[in-house]
Amino acid sequence: MTKVVVVGDRLVSSETLKEAALKLNIPSPIEVVEFQWYSDLTKDQFQEKILLIEKGGPEAVNIPEGILEAIVDADYLLVHIAPVSKAMIEAATQLKLIGTCRGGIEHIATESVKSKGIPLIHVIRNAEPVADFTLGLMFTETRNIARSHQGVMAGEWRKSFPNDPYKTTLSNLKVGLVGLGYIGKLVVQRLNGLGVEVLVYDPFVDQEVIKAEGLKVDFRTIEELFSEADIISLHARVTPETTNMVNHSLISLMKPSAYLINTARAAILDKEALVEALQERRIAGAALDVIWSEPVKKDDPLLQLDNLTLTSHIAGDTIDAIPRSPYLLRDVLNAYFQTGKSDMLMRL
């Protein structure tokens, strides 16, 4: 008997995760034990729980009642956004793998997972939507699409903008990506298709493997990337090492004509450094889908900037991304079971 524990939530039901679990290529018979995490909350209430996790990790919220007992002899654990806490990892005696299917992994006690040597497969459920949205923000910011719309709706027929000295087509610009994970690779594919030169900083990827995958990129140090790129797009995950990684020092290396795009996590970008650079016109502009305090407060200095595009954390919000995620996780896990390799196996 192979035991799989699944934890559903308001967005992805345990029934859907169970259906995916039963199609895993693991020894049968398969026993699936289901839990639900805050599935009865309203959308706003559930969003509050998500924000607690993103700020405080898995220990900042409650875990489902009874899961510590159920996980003791579990072989696999599948979750969407429910917490995988230190207590859960410590209780598990024979866990062979953890699978999750959401944007980040803030909900997982990664240090505990690492200390036990448990493989963690992280399927980014909305990678395609985020990659599309990232490209959209590049066009929006460099060509003032949102600012022009805002002006027209307010009765203004704007023809001039802060980045007027630098306006050009995307094909004339070098795009630098910080992080070349699953989403970063999808962004590269789109930029390659448009004939845009791409620079990459990611010290953890095998450059030969990237070339073998057919991705056309040039690798740089992070300082070189910030100095050379015309658009810098952030795709790193939050760790102690990456928190506030993009700081005054790196931003000071950017060209006056350069733009910064963030569809990853707010915490990797130093807010004060970005605000100062935009206020002083030391860079041409920025576009953010992730903000340090969501929803943004009315007195936030971000709202006073005329060279910044803000969206309300919607990069991954499409009708099919979340419902499909357990089946995407199933397919990735089965490929991993077959080959022993996966781009989505986390390096902890």
Structural domains present in the chain: 2-126+318-339 (3.40.50.720), 127-310 (3.40.50.720)
Structure tokens at 337: 């079971």
> Pairing mode, if any, of strands 308-310 and 2-9?
unpaired
Residue in 62, 116, 122, 81 with CA at minimum distance from that of residue 98: 122
The catalytic position among 107, 235, 265, 330 is 265
Return d(Cα 149, Cα 77) in angstroms, integer. Answer: 46
Q: What is the pTM of this model?
A: 0.80
Instruction: Answer yes or no: 80 catalytic.
Output: no
Distance CA 77, CA 37 (A): 14
| pLDDT of the residue at 145 | 97
Go through 111-134 and write b for each residue having 16 or more CB atoms within 10 A of its CB, e for each that does not: ebbeeeebbbbbbbbbbbbbbbbb
At 243, phi and psi to the nearest 5?
Answer: -65, 125
Q: How far is CA 243 from the centre of its chain?
A: 14
DSSP string covering 295-326, please? SPPTT-GGGG-SSEEE--S-TT--TTHHHHHH
Burial label, 216 (beta-carbon count in 10 A; 0-12, 13-18, 19+): middle
Helices (H), the chain: 14-21, 43-56, 67-70, 86-91, 110-116, 127-142, 145-153, 182-193, 207-212, 222-228, 248-251, 271-279, 321-339
Pick from 239, 345, 343, 337: which is nearest to 24 by CA? 337
pLDDT tens for the chain, 348 residues: list them: 999 999 999 999 999 999 999 999 999 999 999 999 999 999 899 989 998 998 899 999 999 999 999 999 999 999 999 999 999 999 999 999 999 998 789 999 999 999 999 999 998 878 889 999 999 999 999 999 999 999 999 999 999 999 999 999 999 999 999 999 889 999 999 999 999 999 999 998 989 989 999 999 999 999 999 999 999 999 998 888 999 999 999 999 999 999 999 999 999 999 999 999 999 999 999 999 999 998 999 999 999 999 999 999 999 888 877 888 999 899 999 999 998 888 788 877
So what's the pLDDT on residue 100?
96
- Whether residue 105 contacts residue 122, with contact meaning beta carbons closer than 8 Å, is answered with yes
How many other C-beta atoms can be found within 10 angstroms of the C-beta atom of residue 168? 12
Residue 281 a catalytic site member: no
294 is a catalytic site residue: yes
Alpha carbons 143 and 82: distance in angstroms, whole number: 39
Residue among 294, 324, 330, 347 flagged as catalytic: 294
